[in-house]
Structure 1
Amino acid sequence: MGKKVIQISDVHFGDTTFSLALKSNFLAQLEDENPDLLIFAGDLTASGYAHEYEQALEFVDELKSITKTHIVPGNHDARNVGLVHFENMISKRKFVHTDKNSNFTIIGLDSSEADVSHGQIGRDQMDWLKSELAKIPEDRAKVVTFHHHIIPIPQTGRERNILLDSGDLMHILTENGVDFVLNGHKHVPNVWMLNNMVVLNSGTATTGKLRGNGYASYNQIEIKDGEVFVNLVRTENGSKREIAHYSVGLMDESMVIHSYIHKSIHSV
């Protein structure tokens, strides 16, 4: 049975470039797509203030009325003691979601740090992550999501906001056979393959905080019959462009990516 997962991040309620039109477009597109799951990879707000969270909560309620939704915080959400509002109004800061029908488990982590742009996972969360990964059967796909990126992204300028403990986290992810990592943060969509692990970034879905010729967007992940397709969706008009295609299956009783095709996102 096929599954459709939406990956979104960086909507930034309260930002001067936030667009109500893009928000409305996204919600309409989500209703049309009728996905099975939505993963929000951080930055609901611009500055972590209560009034921004109140607007974000209305949006989150709309998302949850359409599909099952999981959310982790981003660096903007942690500003001005904003994680207090996140936990009181939105959700817990980490989660585990298992979809037995489509044979995958998603683990969400909080990579935010108060009042700074960079982030880290921290030793306690890494220990928890290792414990949760160890519980996942080898024949199930493993997906981990958090806000910050773990490797640089093209066309994002000077690299200064990568996770402070990205090396330790990368070791845990690769040693435990994680198949997909879903991030946000830089407002630039991107996909890498590293040690047979896909690292997929989403752009900003509802703001004008764009770099170069970028546009507001989010990712659509379709899982069907051992194939995974990733589409980049333009929030302005709902147009889609396939950016990645994976063939997945069992090898020695472990879930692995057998082959992949990545299509160009960035002009050189």
Structure 2
Amino acid sequence: MVTIAHISDLHCSKKSYGKEGFKLKKLASCIKEINKLKPNAVVVTGDLTVFGFEYEYGVAKKYLSKLTAPTLIIPGNHDSRYCGYDYFDEYFGHGNTSLDLPGISIIGIDTTIPDLDEGNVGRGKLRWLLEELEKKPKTNCKVVAMHHHLIAVPNTGRERATVADAGTLLKALISSGVDIVLCGHKHTPNSWFIDNMAIVNAGSASALKLRANINNSYNLINFEKNSITVSLKEIGKKPEVMANYKTANSKQGLYVKRAYK
């Protein structure tokens, strides 16, 4: 079994409880929990900071560097404010990146637009993404990580922040045989399934800004021979299965066949 820990929307600030609401103790507990669980990798889907300031990146770097598993980290809209994308590159590397595990290929893509909450992929980055997917072994399970959500998330109010080219991207990912897409942004855990592809949103690991009845959390994704299981892990509590996707091996490799909750 291969396990990925999926965390998002840390919103690190200088103070333990900053203006936008940052819970330092929650982040510290989250990192300790993940290290104890010993996943094969950790995927961080953006919004490491509040304003993209360097000292916020310093806090994020301090805690994320404590993770003992390999990490794939991409930026969110907050990280691209005030030219914060330059600090992201300095502290964490380029936002378009990839990570390979046994039987699994993870590709992260930067969906941010400087100083805007909205996201977009665009023709250039989409071309890069499709080329990267094509390079990966056909038998690998394909995972794409992005900050902005690909499909609207329930109970999050008026929808304004799916990627602008969501339709084009959705079609391209399905056509490329992507098995699961990991997103953040809305601070709300959720799981969708469409046309043999899972779309999983993580909640916020350490932000104070949460919707009713939602606690700070992250996701655990277990890849087994015949299934992909997504579990919600509220910090300090036991994981609860959010979705289980049956898989099957074919000429196209490992793919999501059906879902149930």
- TM-score bracket for the superposition, by shorter chain length: over 0.9
Q: Deviations over 1:82-125 (max 9, x none)?
A: 000000112211112222x2x11111000011111101011110
Root-mean-square deviation (Å): 1.2
Give structure 1 regions of 4+ aligned residues with deviation exceeding 3 angstroms: none
Deviation at 1:208, TM superposition (A): 1.5
SS of match in other structure, 1:230:
strand
SS of match in other structure, 1:82:
helix
Contact 1:227/1:245 (<8 A) preserved = yes
Q: 149-158 or 11-20: which moved more?
A: 11-20
1:19 aligns with 23
The 3 A distance-change label for structure 1 pair 253 and 70 is: closer
SS of match in other structure, 2:28:
helix
User: Whole-Å Cα distance in 1 between the matches of residues 226 and 196 of structure 2?
Assistant: 16
SS of match in other structure, 1:58:
helix
2:44 aligns with 40
2:115 aligns with 115
**Partner AA of 2:152 in structure 1:** P
**Partner AA of 2:253 in structure 1:** S
Q: Indicate whether 1:220 and 2:224 are aligned.
A: no
Q: Indicate whether 1:129 and 2:126 are aligned.
A: no
User: Whole-Å Cα distance in 2 between the matches of residues 189 and 89 of structure 1?
Assistant: 27
SS of match in other structure, 1:40:
strand
Contact 2:139/2:251 (<8 A) preserved = no
Contact 1:22/1:206 (<8 A) preserved = yes
How many residues are paired up? 256
Identity %: 34
2:57 aligns with 53
SS of match in other structure, 1:259:
strand
Q: Indicate whether 1:239 and 2:238 are aligned.
A: yes
Q: 73-82 or 127-136: which moved more?
A: 127-136
Unaligned ranges ≥5, structure 2: none
User: Whole-Å Cα distance in 1 between the matches of residues 159 and 248 of structure 2?
Assistant: 35
1:163 aligns with 163
Contact 1:29/1:238 (<8 A) preserved = no
Deviation at 1:145, TM superposition (A): 0.6
User: Whole-Å Cα distance in 1 between the matches of residues 106 and 28 of structure 2?
Assistant: 27
- Scaled by the length of structure 1, the TM-score of the pair is 0.92
- Scaled by the length of structure 2, the TM-score of the pair is 0.94
Deviation at 1:44, TM superposition (A): 0.3
1:105 aligns with 105
User: Whole-Å Cα distance in 1 between the matches of residues 108 and 95 of structure 2?
Assistant: 8
Unaligned ranges ≥5, structure 1: 263-268
Contact 2:72/2:98 (<8 A) preserved = no
